[in-house]
Amino acid sequence: MNDSHDSSTDDSSIDDSSTDDHAGDGPVPGMNRRRVVGTLFFIIFLDLLGFGILIPVIPLYAKFFGANEFTGSLLIAVYSLFQFVGAPILGRFSDEYGRRPVLLLSLSGSVIAWTLFGIAGELGGVLAGVNGLVVLFLARALAGAMGGNIATANAYMADITPPEDRARGLGILGAAFGLGFVFGPAVAGIVSSPSVLSFFEATLPSFVPVNEFTMPSFTAAVLTALNLGLAFVVLPEPRRHAERAAAMTESRLRRLYEAITSPDIGSLVLAFFLASFAFSAFESQFIFLTSDRLGYGTAENAVLLTYIGVVIAIVQGGLIGPLTDRFGEYRLALGGAAIQVVTLALVPFSLSWSFVPALGPIESGAVALAAVSTPLAFGNALTNVSLNTLVSLNASDDTQGGAFGLTQSASSLARTFGPAVAGLLYVAIAYWSPFVVAGLLFVPILVVLGLVAREQVDPAVG
């Protein structure tokens, strides 16, 4: 389905070259496409920064309430599970009611969720002695459901970019996503440090709980609240979507169903699911691997994961556009998948490559791991953005939100089960097994992409 390519005039509703694009049509008169893209980037960055802040907090917070490691893992997984449920709903609501209202709604829900996360202990005591862990699960479920707003943001970007620039636009959002994960844990480390906690204890009212778990939660809530205010004031509704929504008929749901159940979209969503499953398996076992084989702790792992995140952000934010212009989305998706087949399988074995020299205090195993992780991150960035772009190009203009909601749901479902399966392989078979299996999962991705007609998935080919 190539309905989204029918006209280039609709895609220029917010144009870089215009100094006064449809003044008065949105909440910010004269806001050109570049400013909207920049605003959307900042909003998604702040959204994911709030999420990233809690990454190093969640497991220990669960144990604080008496949970074991398995229950703590469930607390991590419940976010993705409810994101799986919420993403298509928010995506379709954004097709029906607009991108801006859904983004504002999801940010409001996130503020509530992260606030509940911070007061879980106190709220549990108020609610007839309910364990605070129950509140944590409820808060994570709400946050996951609201976390489906990434699909709406992708649809928003698709609304304001022509097909030939869509990979570049989605890559910019991917960079915002990656940077949130890069800087979020660093912010958590700062606000939970002893000196900063002492400052909070001295300045905040006595009824505010201050500890290493609550302050990152409240910081995430405050950042998300500021993000909500920013989006409310400066983010307009895309003009193209507003015009199409006004002209929508009762057949919209039928067109949406046809879009997301078409062979092209279905094949791409399957590829997206497998890619997310494989990479989440790698992420979940990475720290176990470096801890067991290199003796690394939190600080060393943070450096390695930050490096991987920076590489992904650079590719998605700066390189994906020129690469797409040169090779096209289809070839980049295939190339990224092929790279990950090899590099994921090499990750566990790279630690014993004695032929790789050490770099000062950095031992050879860590140098080799970083060397393998560089093309791995590069391939992951190519695959994610290219698959997202292909989904967008094969969905009609008025079903972008629903299509992106479907891909995000597939990703969320994969990130719910991927870590569990990987952990089982790690314990039951060998430390290298989840990484090899993750690499092999990209083989069917290559097959799936190869079976989809290139004329249907890449408008540049034909």
At 196-226, the pLDDT tens digits run: 889 999 998 888 888 888 888 899 899 889 8
Average pLDDT, the chain: 75
Res. 110: pLDDT tops 80: yes
- Structure confidence at residue 211 (pLDDT): 86
- Structure confidence at residue 26 (pLDDT): 37
- Structure confidence at residue 244 (pLDDT): 46
Tens-place pLDDT, residues 35-67: 777 777 887 888 778 777 777 677 667 778 877
Res. 33: pLDDT tops 70: no
Copy the structure tokens of residue 118.
């911070």
For the residues 387-394, what does the mean pLDDT come to?
A: 76
CA–CA separation, 74 vs 58, rounded Å?
Answer: 10
- Structure confidence at residue 23 (pLDDT): 40
CA–CA separation, 308 vs 303, rounded Å?
Answer: 9
Indicate the length of the chain as a whole number: 462
Residues 6+ positions from 31 with CB-CB distance below 8 Å? 14, 21, 39, 234, 236
More confident residue, 207 or 170: 207
For the residues 134-142, what does the mean pLDDT come to?
A: 90
Sign of CA dihedral 321, 322, 324, 325: positive
Tens-place pLDDT, residues 67-93: 765 676 677 778 888 877 777 777 778
- Structure confidence at residue 419 (pLDDT): 76
Task: Write b or e for each residue in 210-239: b if 16 or more Cβ atoms lie within 10 A of its Cβ, otherwise e.
Answer: bbbbbbbbbbbbebbbebbeebeebbbbbb
Return the percentage of the chain with pLDDT > 70, whole number.
Answer: 75
- Structure confidence at residue 340 (pLDDT): 93
Phi, psi of 147 (to 5 degrees): -70, -10
CA–CA separation, 369 vs 18, rounded Å?
Answer: 47
pTM: 0.64
- Structure confidence at residue 437 (pLDDT): 94
- Structure confidence at residue 225 (pLDDT): 92
CA–CA separation, 373 vs 305, rounded Å?
Answer: 10
- Model confidence band, residue 453 (pLDDT cutoffs 50, 70, 90): very low
Identify the top-confidence range among 21-35, 273-287, 341-355: 341-355
Out of 234-238, 314-318, 334-338, 451-455, least confident range: 451-455
Tens-place pLDDT, residues 171-189: 777 777 777 777 877 787 7
More confident residue, 187 or 301: 187
Tens-place pLDDT, residues 261-274: 666 677 777 888 88
More confident residue, 363 or 372: 372
Closest CA to 12 of 167, 240, 244, 325: 240
Out of 122-131, 226-235, 407-416, least confident range: 122-131
Res. 396: pLDDT tops 60: yes
Closest CA to 43 of 158, 150, 161, 144: 150
Phi, psi of 359 (to 5 degrees): -115, 90
Res. 27: pLDDT tops 60: no
- Structure confidence at residue 404 (pLDDT): 65
For the residues 119-133, what does the mean pLDDT come to?
A: 75
CA–CA separation, 27 vs 266, rounded Å?
Answer: 37
Q: Are 14 and 36 in contact (CB under 8 A)?
A: yes
For the residues 109-132, what does the mean pLDDT come to?
A: 81
Out of 12-26, 314-328, 405-419, least confident range: 12-26
Strand partners, 158: none
- Model confidence band, residue 302 (pLDDT cutoffs 50, 70, 90): low
- Amino acid identity of residue 59, one-letter, is P
